Amino acid sequence: MKKVLIFGVGGFVGSYLAAEFKSHGYDVYGSDRVGVQNTPDLDGTYVCELEDADRVKSIVASVKPTHIVNLAAISNVGLSWKIPRTTVEVNVCGSLNILEAVRDTDIDTKVLLIGSSEEYDIADGPMAEDTKLNASNPYGISKVMLEQFSSVYRNYYKMKVYHVRSFNHTGVGQSDNFVIPSWCKQAAEISCSGKPGVMKVGNLNVSRDFSNVKDIVRAYRMIIESDNCGEVYNVGNGQTVPLRELLEYITKLSEQPITIETDPKLVRPIENPVIWCDHSKISKDLGWEPEYNIFETAKELFDYYVEIEKDI
Burial class from Cβ neighbours inside 10 Å (0-12, 13-18, 19+) for residue 295 reads middle
Ramachandran sector of residue 171 (left: φ over 0; alpha: ψ -120 to 50; beta: rest): left
pLDDT, tens digit, 9 for 90 and up, residues 179-200: 999 999 999 999 999 999 999 9
Q: What does the pLDDT look like over 197-223, one tens digit per residue? A: 999 999 999 999 999 999 999 999 999
Which pLDDT score, from 0 to 100, does residue 88 have? 96
What share of the chain has pLDDT > 70, as a percent?
98
Give the predicted TM-score (pTM) of the model.
0.94
Backbone angle region of 161, left / alpha / beta, with phi > 0 → left and psi within -120 to 50 → alpha: beta
Percent share of the chain, pLDDT over 90: 87
pLDDT in tens, 74-113: 988 888 999 999 999 999 999 999 999 999 998 999 999 9
> Would you give the DSSP letter of residue 133?
B
DSSP track, 219-287: HHHHHHHSS-TT-EEEES-S--EEHHHHHHHHHHT-SS-EEEEE-GGGS-SS--SEE-B--HHHHHHH-
Ordered domains of the chain (ranges, CATH): 3-169+211-235 (3.40.50.720), 171-208+239-275+294-311 (3.90.25.10)
- Decide: 69 and 14 in contact? Cβ < 8 Å: no
What's the confidence (pLDDT) of residue 266? 84
Q: How far, in Å, CA of 219 to CA of 233, rounded?
A: 9
37 pLDDT band, cuts 50/70/90, is low
Which range among 37-51, 236-250, 254-268 shows the weakest confidence by mean pLDDT? Answer: 37-51
User: How many Cβ atoms are within 10 Å of 257's Cβ, its own excluded?
Assistant: 10
